[in-house]
Chain A
């Protein structure tokens, strides 16, 4: 009789922790010995794509990160920008894509919670949230099957409720965002949350564990088994068994977070706190080694002192738990009590779990026994970096050449209705009405505006913000698509009269180990870098979310990648005043298209929403972009708006001129009578999405045109506002004639109808 050896426990396999054989070898070299299971777990999460940026790091270096206003750039929990008068803003965007697919409500809720902690861990009080969402189609026809469509609808409902639940209770207004749909997001929705906070220069805190001998204090919620290895999960392609990873999704408690916010800001005021960092991805592991690494110190902790809400947790589980609403702080030795007093007042746990040491190592004890001992710097900052190959063309899922186009129809009334009631263009009121967008009474321009504007009561300045991404265009040309994204964000800010000053990015891509996907990433980052440098909006931080692809449910050999979807969150400043909105206010105003009618051709028209929603096909390339002209358009619009010359301003984007006219009509029910003349086809002139164009309504068209002329920008008088009817003519022919009220009805009811199927 032969006895086979017992099977090796899965946890002893480096692959279980996401470590490749080469990475495992590197771990052995760093430690000078073989790692134990806890150490492998720690290396596994810290060296995961999510935490280490090992694929994107060499390319992220191409992004501009500095300007006179940048107080803190990438590498901290959030970027910080000077806004004058001794005040500053901290902001960042972050994704919670994978968890939101597995458990939409909690996935999205904890996404909001995570980014809010990133802001207040720096000392800033969060004053605004925006979100960029991508979902699969809501109808069986577009989704491929009713099963998939129904799941997509459930994900939308869950994600929106989750964001509302967390943000509303925490008391931060969700003031804007965007939401688009495509089949490539069916198995991989994107939930990117941007948050911004405000504080004074002398209130800034960093995640640094300085001062050997200083106590390391754990505050906030107790540690449980939830979210273990969440960061590692976010670094894998989804497979059929992904839903079994539901336990990897964290559970959020916004009330706890609200208490944590107030307690942290109050404790910071005591002067007893030396450094502070939230426990987000990779929890206790990440916060300890990053704080130590930034300060060049070591940290020693005793796990038995960590507040726990379950019994029998192993060191591995405690170090990798992603339980929410926890922070780690380092206090000045001898002043612990001042910190404890504040947390006691707010009813929160606070416990000294260790101290700062001089040996540069993360030493974890459990009941006195050392269960992990790893050099902080190697763990936090020296993850292997990969130069993944990308010497192929970028992946694209649409043809380059234009199909033979049928002649444009006689009337565009039906096409306009189809377009305005499509999921991408329709009113998103169903979403944003569930968000408290006014709490804190600072929201001067909220959801539905081109840019959100939030005032800072103490300074007389306001912050304008927009988030934008265009996955379809990036799929057609990642470099140009990314440039367009930056241009549109800056254009959004110009329409409210704000000067863009900085940006944060979220890079959502599929599996970078596929060269055709890696190529998308590289091209998009380079395009974004070029445009951000040109528009003088340094990137002060952000997030990378890779492996956003899912194996086909019917055929596991087929993997569906998302559209390459970089998302930009942009921030601008302006003097506090009532911002100009997108809505026409009264009949009898002149309509001026600043930037001119633009141009397109059959190939570039294939990237438009009209091609997609009305013609049912996508092809070709994004519109041509002249960044120099674009910038002059921004300057012109900013001057027009801030000098009070326009009653409304709205940038042209999805759906082109016709959609912009319709959207500006909806606000007050004031219509427009427009007569265009050009050598373009009728459908091209109405719906092409050429950039660098802003629609303004004004009582002083000559003054508007004079400003444009001075900046060498076209400003075409295209018609005037009228009561209640939208009438569009081209070269003398009537193309569309619709009642604003009827079109608005279709536009408003589209999303609730799509979701109620």
Chain B
């Protein structure tokens, strides 16, 4: 699997994602500069955490206008796998690839700590190798990670089995404990917790490995893109 890790000015989990995909998981990765529009020969796109464009205005609000996002949007429309982590999730909601929004944490403070996530569905290319209900441990690190959407959207997400992860102990006030969701077509995942920080035993947890494993399996099976 070859993953394109997008680098916006202000991305700061880009190297972590690159290292996790290559050194911890044994796949290939390359950096994609925000001004670039070429996503050739890539199996998946990773929108990393950080503070794209300084998070000026709103988190992810400027990134949605970046040249690379046009290509990412098209990549997703053609069925390619796109994962957005933390700021990447915020960018996906801002750009309309995923519904809802991420607002300031209940408590109004940045929170960095390990969380337990319940896998809410295994019916996705990001969780197919996991058991529904299995608990993954991985860190969160965000100030604006409280997931909100209107009731109808939340009902729809649940009815369509598009909630991928829920917090076991909701740290930020996210509605219905939502930590990660899918788009309708199930090829775009946004999540606030950081799987790339949980792929190395030395970092204390390997709860993120299953996500990359699932993605690689889906691509291997040819289920995704051409």
Where the two chains meet, the residues of A that have a C-beta atom closer than 8 Å to any C-beta of B are 161, 164, 168-171, 253-256, 258-259, 346-347, 432-441, 443-444, 455, 457, 576, 578
Contact = CB atoms under 8 A, between A and B. Distances in A.
Contact of B110 (A164, A253, A255, A259): A164
B123 interface: no
Contacts, number: 80
Interface string B125-168: 00000000000000101010000000000000000000000000
B54 A255 contact: yes
Given A436-B110, A438-B112, 13 more contacts: A168-B143, A169-B10, A169-B51, A171-B13, A258-B10, A258-B51, A433-B111, A434-B111, A438-B194, A439-B13, A440-B15, A441-B20, A578-B201
A438 B110 contact: no
Nearest to B14: A171
Contact of B200 (A433, A434, A441): A441
Q: Is the interface of B mostly helix, strand, loop or mixed?
A: mixed
B196 interface: yes
Given A255-B10, A255-B54, A438-B139, A433 B202 contact: no
Contacts of A443: 203
Contact of B203 (A168, A170, A434, A441): A441
B49 to A, nearest CB: 8
B65 interface: no
B12 to A, nearest CB: 3
11 contacts: A161-B109, A171-B13, A255-B10, A255-B53, A255-B56, A347-B9, A434-B109, A434-B111, A436-B112, A436-B141, A439-B13
Contacts of A168: 51, 110, 141, 143
A596 to B, nearest CB: 33
B113 A440 contact: no
A438 B141 contact: yes
Contacts of B30: none
Contact of A578 (B15, B53, B141, B202): B202
Contact of B12 (A161, A171, A435): A171
B59 to A, nearest CB: 11
Nearest to B199: A441
A628 to B, nearest CB: 36
B213 interface: no
A444 B112 CA distance: 15
A254 B56 CA distance: 11
B186 interface: no
Contacts of B139: 438
Contacts of A440: 12, 15-16
B12 A170 contact: yes
B19 A439 contact: no
B197 A441 contact: yes
Nearest to A262: B9
Contacts of A346: 9
A457 B50 CA distance: 20
Nearest to A172: B12
Contacts of B20: 441
B54 A439 contact: no
Contact of B197 (A253, A259, A438): A438
Contacts of A258: 9-10, 12, 51
B189 to A, nearest CB: 20
B145 to A, nearest CB: 12
A433 B113 contact: yes
Question: Which of A168, A169, A434, A441 is the most central at the interface, judged by chain B CB atoms within 10 Å of its CB?
Answer: A441
Interface string B178-219: 000000000000000010110011110000000000000000
Contact of B16 (A439, A444, A455): A439
A251 to B, nearest CB: 14
A169 B144 CA distance: 13
Given A168-B110, A434-B112, A436-B110, A455 B202 contact: yes
Contacts of A576: 202
Question: Which of A161, A171, A258 is the most central at the interface, judged by chain B CB atoms within 10 Å of its CB?
Answer: A171
